[in-house]
Amino acid sequence: MAGRIDETSPFMALRIALLTVSDSRDRASDRSGDTLEQRVREAGHELVDRDLVRDDALLIAQRLRAWIADPGVEVVISTGGTGVTGRDVTPEALAAVVEKDIPGFGEMFRMISFGKIGTSALQSRACAGVANGTYLFCLPGSPGACRDGWDEILRWQLDIRHRPCNFAELLPRLREA
């Protein structure tokens, strides 16, 4: 159950950056990034940046840190590098920059995936966290996983009108001490 949208509340567009992590794709073949970009725009959010880096934990963390330091970026969504092979290092890069984990994101993503791909969902290390008041969400690299992550979770949690609660309404409080 996704909750509900309170149509009496005004929508608030969030400023979102997208990162594709891949050794085999370029901008022209980045279907997962395209899937997320389309959904971000259709939802009414602002796409402030989009980048592609290879599977290298230092490069991924460097890109995340740049966006975390940018007050114009409120949310970062990455796609790719969340599997279990030697080159899959996105969760490790996230761990290097995150201040607080959001473990329920990965758990919920795998629960949704289990309903669609069965026990293969175990191979996903989808994860999320917060750093310097910025939300960070890491999705697997397939367009289907990006659709599931956006349509089933992020679409709702990044909409301030979603009830009973959402991540968007907590943005002003993320830097509280």
pLDDT in tens, the chain (177 residues): 467 999 999 999 999 999 999 999 999 999 999 999 999 999 999 999 999 999 999 999 999 999 999 999 999 999 999 999 999 999 999 999 999 999 999 999 999 999 999 999 999 999 999 999 999 999 999 999 999 999 999 999 999 999 999 999 999 999 998
The long-range contacts involving 160-163, CB below 8 angstroms and separated by at least 24 positions, are 160/9, 160/11, 160/12, 161/5, 161/6, 161/7, 161/9, 161/10, 161/11, 162/2, 162/3, 162/4, 162/5, 162/6, 163/3, 163/4, 163/5, 163/6
| pLDDT the model gives residue 177 | 80
Domain annotation covers residue 109? yes
Domain annotation covers residue 137? yes
- How many structural domains comprise the chain? 1
Domain annotation covers residue 2? no
Domain annotation covers residue 33? yes
Range(s) of the domain holding residue 123: 13-171
Domain annotation covers residue 4? no
Domain annotation covers residue 177? no
Domain annotation covers residue 5? no
Domain annotation covers residue 132? yes
CATH number at 77 reads 3.40.980.10
